[in-house]
Amino acid sequence: MSPDILLKIWGATLDTLYMVAAAGLIGSLIGLPIGIFLATSGKGELFPAPMTNRIVGLIVNAARSTPFIILVVAIIPFTRLLTGTSIGTKAAIVPLTIATIPFVARLVEAAIREIDKGLIEAARAMGATPMQIVFKVLLAEARPALTMALTMTAVSLIGYSAMVGAVGGGGLGDLGIRYGYQRFMPDVMLVVVIVLIVLVQLVQSAGDGLARRFDRRSRKN
């Protein structure tokens, strides 16, 4: 393999990390509050707004069920509006972020719904405001589950980021398609796949380790 190709693989890896990091960060920042809202706005819950809850739930479901590759194409005008272009790494961040938001929202909702209702009742009985309950009880107690959720998000994003390669998004997927597939360079394809596997492994173990550290529910020692 020529040094030129290796350099390209290195560059593509950085592009992938950049896309995953940017989309993961922005998507999570938006998805987290939406997830909290979904988990706390049902009838008789902390911020009761059942109607809005249902509507937000519908939108989240719609976004979740749109195939990613279609989402990428469908929002091209929006992407162009935000970044001035529809191809390249920067442009790819837009659909990646859009796909991340509902994904994170549902995972956060599930993580929060897992928390024993008794804890919410205890906090209410102490005179906590709904906001205090969210920050001091729900988010604190859900920390291990939230860490797992964000890990899952990052792993999924690595996969999605390879897909945006198909529409000129840059990154490892793009490299694999253009060199490995279109120029018949199976060795490049193999390296790309190996790099992706290693990335996913690293993210997953880091996430698992962090979640274990946060989890005080059943410490063995």
Partner 1 sequence: MSVSAYKTPAPGDAAVVFDGVSKHFAASGKSGGFTALDNVSLSVGRGSITGIIGRSGAGKSTLIRLVNGLEKPTGGKVLVYGVDVGALDEAGLRELRRSVGMIFQHFNLLSSRTVFGNVALPLEIAGMDKHAIEKRVRPLLDLVGLADKHGRYPSELSGGQKQRIGIARALATEPKLLLSDEATSALDPETTQSILELLKRINADLGLTVLLITHEMEVVKAVTSDVAVIDHGRIVERGHTFDVFTHPKHETTRAMLSGLPGSKLPDAVSRALKPQATIGDRAVVRLTFFGAAAERPLISQLIKSVGAEVNIIAGTIDEIGGRPYGSLVVAYGADAETAGRAERFFTENGLVTEVLGYVA
Residues forming the site for partner 1 (CB under 8 A): 116, 118-119, 121-129, 132, 136-137, 140-141, 143, 214, 216-219
CB of 48 to partner 1, least distance (A): 12
123's CB contacts (< 8 A; 6+ apart) are 132, 133, 136, 137
Nearest distance in Å: CB 144, partner 1: 8
Query: Which own/partner contact pairs does 135-139 have at CB distance under 8 Å and 24+ positions apart?
Result: 138/36, 138/39, 138/40, 138/112, 139/36
Question: In terms of CB distance, is 136 or 178 closer to partner 1?
Answer: 136
CB of 99: closest distance to partner 1 in angstroms? 30
CB nearer partner 1, residue 183 or residue 219: 219
User: Alpha-carbon distance 10 to 175, whole Å?
Assistant: 10
In the complex with partner 1, which residue's Cβ is closer, 138 or 188? Answer: 138
- Specify the DSSP element, H or E, that contains 145: helix 143-163
CB of 16 to partner 1, least distance (A): 34
Nearer to partner 1, 144 or 207 (CB): 144
